[in-house]
């Protein structure tokens, strides 16, 4: 009975639920914004990396390597606690979005690049032979195929961004985890933490499952 009262205390859970749901709202806002920015940035970086003039490809490579090497937590603390020293003061939301989407963009860039390179050369040649300029060739012909190829890794990356939003609680972002720790302190009971964990899992498990199914599906299609 003690364990139930301590970790699965329904009364505590009920009281903390409004707080947790507010936190969920923040987490979703942060996660979805970072995912969108990360995808757009990643696509731009991938195109620069593949087709940009020489200096731009170097910059893209440097960016991709750098932001895949830096721990998100370190980047987050730099954007929030270090940038003010040079006069750049970001809100917790802006700091967290910046850190998350910069890292997400570096991974997305590599994923998009792999997808574009997996589109058969004949597709490029057919588009060019018809007279498509590079811009329309990318939009109409290449990217729709490339994105389809990389939907599983792209979704995995989105899941990672969603999970990494929890790091934002260290910059006083009232996200799901932060609200849960606050509710825990208030109630002197860890049930809200368990509740938060359950919400993260409910949110992400379907996506994780979908990636698995898609990967199996694609693997079968290729055979």
Stretch that binds another protein, among 67-75, 91-99, 124-132, 203-211 (CB under 8 A): 124-132
Does 128 help bind another protein (rule: CB under 8 A)?
yes
What's the min distance (Å) between Cβ of 121 and another protein? 9
Q: Of 124, 157, 156, which Cα lies nearest the Cα of 50?
A: 124
Which of residues 69 and 121 has its CB atom nearest to another protein in the complex? 121
Q: How many residues bind another protein (CB under 8 A)?
A: 17
Does 148 help bind another protein (rule: CB under 8 A)?
yes
Match 């199914």 to its residue by tokens. Answer: 213
Does 132 help bind another protein (rule: CB under 8 A)?
yes
Does 122 help bind another protein (rule: CB under 8 A)?
yes
Residue choice 136, 201, 216, 217 for contact with another protein (CB under 8 A): 136
Does 93 help bind another protein (rule: CB under 8 A)?
no
CB 134 within 8 A of CB 51: yes
Does 149 help bind another protein (rule: CB under 8 A)?
no
Residue choice 66, 81, 125, 209 for contact with another protein (CB under 8 A): 125
Does 130 help bind another protein (rule: CB under 8 A)?
yes
Residue choice 25, 93, 145, 155 for contact with another protein (CB under 8 A): 145
What's the min distance (Å) between Cβ of 133 and another protein? 5
Task: Write the interaction track for another protein spanning residues 183-222; mark x where CB under 8 A is met and - where it is not.
Answer: ----------------------------------------
Residue 50: partners with Cβ closer than 8 Å, 6 or more residues away: 57, 113, 116, 117
Q: Which residues bind another protein (CB under 8 A)?
A: 120, 122-123, 125-126, 128-133, 136, 140-141, 144-145, 148
């Amino acid at each position: 009975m003690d364990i139930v009262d301590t970790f699965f205390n329904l009364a505590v859970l009920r009281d903390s639920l409004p707080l947790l749901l507010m936190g969920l709202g923040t987490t979703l806002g942060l996660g979805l914004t970072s995912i969108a920015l990360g995808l757009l940035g990643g696509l731009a970086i991938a195109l620069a990396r593949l087709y940009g003039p020489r200096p731009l490809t170097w910059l893209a490579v440097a960016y991709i390597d750098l932001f895949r090497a830096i721990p998100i937590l370190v980047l987050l603390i730099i954007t929030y606690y270090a940038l003010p020293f040079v006069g750049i003061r970001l809100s917790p939301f802006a700091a967290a979005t910046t850190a998350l989407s910069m890292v997400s963009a570096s991974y997305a860039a590599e994923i998009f690049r792999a997808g574009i390179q997996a589109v058969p050369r004949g597709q490029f040649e057919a588009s060019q032979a018809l007279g498509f300029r590079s811009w329309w060739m990318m939009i109409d012909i290449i990217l729709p195929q490339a994105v389809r190829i990389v939907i599983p890794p792209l979704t995995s990356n989105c899941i990672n961004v969603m999970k990494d939003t929890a790091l934002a609680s260290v910059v006083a972002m009232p996200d799901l985890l932060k609200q849960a720790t606050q509710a825990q302190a208030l109630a002197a009971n860890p049930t809200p933490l368990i509740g938060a964990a359950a919400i993260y899992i409910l949110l992400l498990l379907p996506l994780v499952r979908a990636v698995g199914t898609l990967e199996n599906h694609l693997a079968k299609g290729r055979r």
